[in-house]
Structure 1
Amino acid sequence: MSNKKKSEIIQSIKTVSIALLSAICAKQDFLHMHSFFTSIFTDKAYAITITLFSAIFTCIMVFIEEFLGRFCTKVAIAFSDSKNNINIQNVGALYFSEYDTSKLYIEVSISGNGAFFEGQKVCIYFPDWLTMQIDPKHCEILNVEEHVLKINLSKINAKNGNADVAFPIEIIKDRMFDKSKVEIRAELEKSLKNIFVQFKTNSIQICNESK
């Protein structure tokens, strides 16, 4: 399910919940609002009461979301074959040159509570017929262990808890295969998975052929 679809479902649930709570409170004459407005607006008292309760519950919901948002951390990993076209909404394809090399761009976006990043990593699993080469200046952040590229989130210099950085990764094909494709995506280490972490990633297909 796409993130857009999830957001639409969550918004629909919130809207229905607020409407139901408002109707129940108005029906039960909570805080005696219905009785009060009946004495002033005989015909429209129920509608006015529901509207007021809807406004109250909406404000409460916004307050709760903002309060919890202070404790939330967002991590987004986007893959692309071009540094000028990195978009987490896209699913791209990576091809090799005639020299069996290619370049993958990985954009890391983090925001929120920096305490969650301490010692945490994002893992990207590559097939064993590829070799990854990283820029030496990124060695503190990026590390390759047996065809697994690890991104050390705690080493990313986040200003005010926010950072957007992109890394070029040189990809080299080690062995010859028939034409095939493999899809890679990022995964959070298990220790980082909790209700206060929102993680998003796209994927990219590595095509064992020249474009």
Structure 2
Amino acid sequence: MLTRDFKHPLSKMVSERWYDLHNLTGSNFLLIAFNPPTEWRDDFKKYWTEKLGEEFEIFWEEWKSGFMPGGAVQYGDLFEPEIKISQYPCLILFTDPNNLECQKVVVRSLPDWDVDSLYYLLSGMIESIKECGKKPEEKRLECLQSSLTSPTAKFLDHYKHVKMQALDYMKKHPSQILLTTANFIFAFSSANILSLGETATILLDVIKKMK
């Protein structure tokens, strides 16, 4: 995950939800981020001690020292083609970490959403990545490209985001939404698009769902 701005909501999300992301990815794939967690937990240290053995202390000290803000931009040229600054922040997906220069990668730019929305977006991506990991090795990159970067996939992600924003607004402003919905329904009724009986049923259903 490449970020160029430590003040971007994505950077904040990674730091705040570091251990949630750690648990979500599990042993299925490795997620590398340049934003340190808000705190270093003992269970996380134990996990990597078991994975890295004697080399753990070397890596641990480097991790805790962290990276300079915006340092991730120095790693865009590891890939072919090179990742442009305009594509940051983004998620770079590849299947063979030992041959970065000799393989194709899937690049998914990440939006400037709020922290919670970005977390749910990434959670959905992680689920898709896990599913692609179950496919034969030669099919994985194609699967990742289809499920994460296709126009349909991007549209659905934005649709879910707008839906969540709308539902959140409805919860915070129920009376205003109810008035707007009622006006909309009665406008259709007065134009003979809906019968009065249908209007009443729809309006009651709206009220019921808002309780």
Shared fold by TM > 0.5? no
Greater relative contact order (Cα < 8 A, sep 6+): 1
- Name whichever structure is richer in helix by fraction: 2
Give the shorter-chain TM-score range.
Answer: under 0.3
- Name whichever structure is richer in strand by fraction: 1
TM-score (norm 1): 0.22
